[in-house]
Structure 1
Amino acid sequence: MKQKPLSNLETVARGSEFQRSVSDLTEAFVEDMEEMMLKDLEPYEAYANHIRHQVCGNLEQFRSRFTRGYQALLNEMKEIESDKEH
């Protein structure tokens, strides 16, 4: 059974959902870290910004690579299907 490719609108909507999820996850993580933070070593806000940047960057990189991999698999499947038809 063929899976229908996502429309641009669906892709954008999923990207927005992903961004909200990343943001929520990052905020929860930073809030938990506040209790463990040693304030005299690094100001909390600087540390929180550092953590936000790392988490968002890593998750965005994962999403980008996952999307490219998924697209590569779809393209390969289309090519195989096309070869079978000829």
Structure 2
Amino acid sequence: MIERYLRRVLVLAHPYRLVEIEREGPRRRQSCCEARYFNLVDNRKNLIAGFDAWMAGRSFFGYFRYSPQGDLIERRTFPIDSWQF
């Protein structure tokens, strides 16, 4: 469901596509959020941006957008009720 929300807010144009990636990290305490990680790539598989997308229950959806160098570019949060996903 997170991927669907992310695609909806980004409005991706051809030739860009989202690719889910696995991320290893230290185990943290139990979280109230579900998180997934994506790379935005072009048709030549060049990295355009990275995304950490998350969802808090059925209340909020958000993402952090990173440059190919790993710099934070944007962060957004949306109340799910305000979007017609």
How does the TM-score come out when normalised to structure 2?
0.25
Larger relative contact order (Cα-Cα within 8 Å, sequence gap ≥ 6): 1
Structure ranking higher in strand proportion: 2
Structure ranking higher in helix proportion: 1
How does the TM-score come out when normalised to structure 1?
0.25
